[in-house]
Structure 1
Amino acid sequence: MEATYRALRKHGYGNLTTQDIADEFENSKALLYYHYEGKDELLIDFLDYVLAEFLDGLPRGDRTPREELETLVDALLPETLSEEAYRLQLSMFELRMNARHDEAYREEYRHIDDELTAHLRDILERGIEASEFEAIDPDAEAELFLSILTGARARRVTVFEPDEPIGSLRAAIDAHIDRISA
């Protein structure tokens, strides 16, 4: 998975080949080809790996629900990106766009969206219970947040330069968080 990560950062999705991944793999290249029939199968596993790493890295329990929500927004939509992080986000966006034409990618992105929606719903439910958030519908609000964040990430990689601040996007999201806060 780390070899795939390095290859995506270096080559992007559009130019990525299985050989590029194999070139980044420290172990036997034959081992890579033994476990994966091709690039697409490997990238599906990579998406699952990235999601698990991302979710495992999020703080839980040691912050208020609002702080957790703000941390999630910060993690998914940092103010600026290094060139390397930008290229990786662009590759992930290109993979998402490929989901329209590939059922395996679509299913993986459904899984990713379901996991993120569940995480958002959990934060919102705990925030409602703690009187940090208004009595909102956590299911609808989680879907809205995921859509806002997905759209903002797409705009970031298609409209903004990597080191260009995205203050207007972040201000809109922060204003929404303020609106639902008690």
Structure 2
Amino acid sequence: MDHESKLREFSPGEREIMEATYKALSKHGYGNLTIQRIADEFKNSKALLYYHYDGKDELLVDFLEYVLHQFLATLPRGEQSPRTELETLIDALLPETLDEEPYRVQLAMFELRVNAPHDADCRDQYLDVDTELKKLLKDILVRGVEAGEFEDVDPDIESELLLSLLTGTRARRLTVYDPDESIHTLRQAIQTHIDRISVNEK
């Protein structure tokens, strides 16, 4: 299954802008981020950046797609058992602790999500994020049922449930946990659910 089929390819220049955005976010966070601070991290012509983007929220919508593209590219594609792939996905989305830099970037993405009800472009991008992650979860579940690793669950319903669990857990981490504070109990709750639907845990 091609998880990136609906994601556009970024040009080398666009990728450089996205990397500059990552650096600026990791230094300044969402609240103090400006186009100028992104431009300060951009090694090429700053005029190119200002030509494409008028403000940080417009740029961050593209950055969200870029982050999703990069994230999906790092995931295993059928090289592991479906259950192992699911657990790998959870590890990637919910590491037990976070360093300051990725925490700041994740927090910025969360703050951008909060703007989605008031920004149609942002809303559409988060719909794309949710769609891609749900497709990925569904694919893992379908293969897991076929392989006899998971019970005969409904992949559509189960992928929706897992997506909500993962999204909600990421939001809880960013709002009530410190970056270096372990979220072991939150991850354990998700793992318990995976155990329930796994054939070898019965």
Indicate whether the TM-score tops 0.5: yes
Query: TM-score, normalising length from structure 1?
Result: 0.97
Query: TM-score, normalising length from structure 2?
Result: 0.88
Could you tell me how far apart the structure 2 residues matched to 1:26 and 1:6 are?
12
Moved beyond 4 Å, runs of 4+ = none
Correspondence 1:139 to 2:156: yes
Could you tell me how far apart the structure 2 residues matched to 1:35 and 1:76 are?
30
How far does residue 35 in structure 1 lie from its aligned partner after superposition?
A: 2.1
Superposition CA RMSD, Å = 0.8
8 Å CA contact 2:57–2:112 kept in 1: the answer is no
Identity across matched positions, percent: 69
Runs of 5+ consecutive residues of structure 2 not aligned to the other structure:
1-17
| Alignment counterpart, residue 55 of structure 2, candidates 38, 48, 55 | 38
Could you tell me how far apart the structure 1 residues matched to 2:184 and 2:54 are?
43
What secondary structure sits across from 1:111 in the alignment?
A: helix
Runs of 5+ consecutive residues of structure 1 not aligned to the other structure:
none
1:146-165 matches, cutoff 5 A: 146-165=163-182
Could you tell me how far apart the structure 1 residues matched to 2:188 and 2:66 are?
30
More helix by share: 1
What secondary structure sits across from 1:133 in the alignment?
A: coil
How far does residue 88 in structure 1 lie from its aligned partner after superposition?
A: 1.2
Greater Cα offset, 39-48 or 57-66: 39-48
1:8-157 matches, cutoff 5 A: 8-157=25-174
Paired AA for residue 197 in structure 2? I
What secondary structure sits across from 1:10 in the alignment?
A: helix
Could you tell me how far apart the structure 2 residues matched to 1:62 and 1:154 are?
30
